[in-house]
């Protein structure tokens, strides 16, 4: 393992220890398909997750939280109202926001609403697939399949372009994962394709990033640390998994038990 990667993993482990000691409240307005998986993952690393969606209380809930994760996976007009209110409350309280633009580019409605969240809430970190990132750059609702059609240099260029456009840190997921602030790029090559067979794995990664923003003011470090933990835990989980069901169980266990001793299993 090279020195730069080893240093970043040590940063991640240090922040993970902070998460476990501080037990931050992470507020998720997220895809209801992935709520259970997200809550389990967050509890496994020591946070206190809350999944409140009610427009009547989201502003108050955000004020009590250390970070906010917005995920439009199961979008509705009512949820959009809650997300905008929560995001604007987070801005006022300087609470970091992670945005998952799930399905941007698949329909005009999703693309418009994703851009509305970006414009209204100024997320600190945007985590998405290449097709979603492309849609947010181009305001395009016809980019299905983009993830499989372009190479690493183009993916990095797209992620940088969105980071510069939105003044956020952008995480382009896939294998490998790229994290950029529009200039610098961190590459994460750990992981397993089997995670694509577990519902909500992208939603979980956004939530893990949210947990790290609660203890580290560097959004570049927080995004990188969250994805490092996600990818390494997933790779370790796959080593003994018989399929995607046992992979998920193993993954939760790997998060719960994660420490510097597990790193010998990936070297």
Domain layout of the chain by residue ranges: 3-258
Mean pLDDT of 154-171: 96
The reported pLDDT for the residue numbered 206 is 94
Q: Is the pLDDT of residue 111 over 80?
A: yes
Chain-centroid distance, C-alpha 253? 19
Residue 49 phi/psi, 5-degree rounding, is -85, 145
Q: Is the pLDDT of residue 140 over 60?
A: no
The residue that leads in pLDDT, 87 or 265, is 87
For 144, the token pair is: 């299905």
Percent of the chain with pLDDT over 70: 95
pLDDT band at 189 (very low <50, low <70, confident <90, very high): confident
Residue 182 phi/psi, 5-degree rounding, is 105, -15
Q: Is the pLDDT of residue 149 over 80?
A: no
Class of domain 3-258: alpha beta
The reported pLDDT for the residue numbered 263 is 78
| Whether the predicted model's global pTM rises above the 0.95 cut | no
Give per-residue pLDDT as tens, 31-41.
Answer: 888 889 999 99
């Amino acid at each position: 393992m090279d020195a730069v990667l080893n240093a970043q993993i040590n940063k991640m482990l240090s922040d993970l220890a902070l998460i476990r000691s501080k037990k931050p409240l992470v507020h998720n307005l997220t895809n209801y398909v992935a709520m259970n998986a997200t809550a389990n993952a967050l509890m496994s690393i020591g946070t206190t997750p809350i999944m409140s969606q009610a427009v009547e209380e989201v502003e108050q809930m955000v004020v009590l939280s250390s970070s906010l994760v917005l995920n439009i996976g199961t979008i509705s007009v009512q949820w959009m109202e809650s997300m905008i209110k929560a995001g604007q409350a987070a801005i006022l309280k300087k609470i970091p926001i992670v945005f998952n633009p799930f399905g941007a580019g698949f329909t005009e409605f999703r693309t418009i609403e994703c851009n509305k969240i970006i414009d209204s809430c100024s997320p600190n970190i945007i985590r998405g697939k290449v097709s979603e990132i492309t849609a947010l750059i181009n305001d395009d609702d016809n980019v299905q399949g983009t993830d499989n059609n372009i190479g690493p240099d183009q993916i990095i260029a797209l992620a940088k372009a969105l980071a510069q456009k939105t003044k956020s840190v952008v995480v382009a997921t896939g294998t490998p994962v790229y994290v950029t602030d529009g200039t610098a790029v961190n590459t994460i090559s750990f992981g397993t394709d089997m995670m694509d067979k577990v519902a909500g794995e992208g939603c979980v990664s956004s939530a893990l990033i949210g947990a790290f923003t609660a203890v580290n003011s560097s959004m570049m470090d927080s995004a990188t640390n969250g994805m490092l933990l996600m990818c390494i835990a997933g790779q370790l989980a796959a080593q003994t998994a018989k399929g995607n069901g046992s992979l998920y169980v193993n993954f939760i266990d790997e998060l719960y038990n994660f420490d510097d001793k597990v790193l010998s299993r990936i070297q």
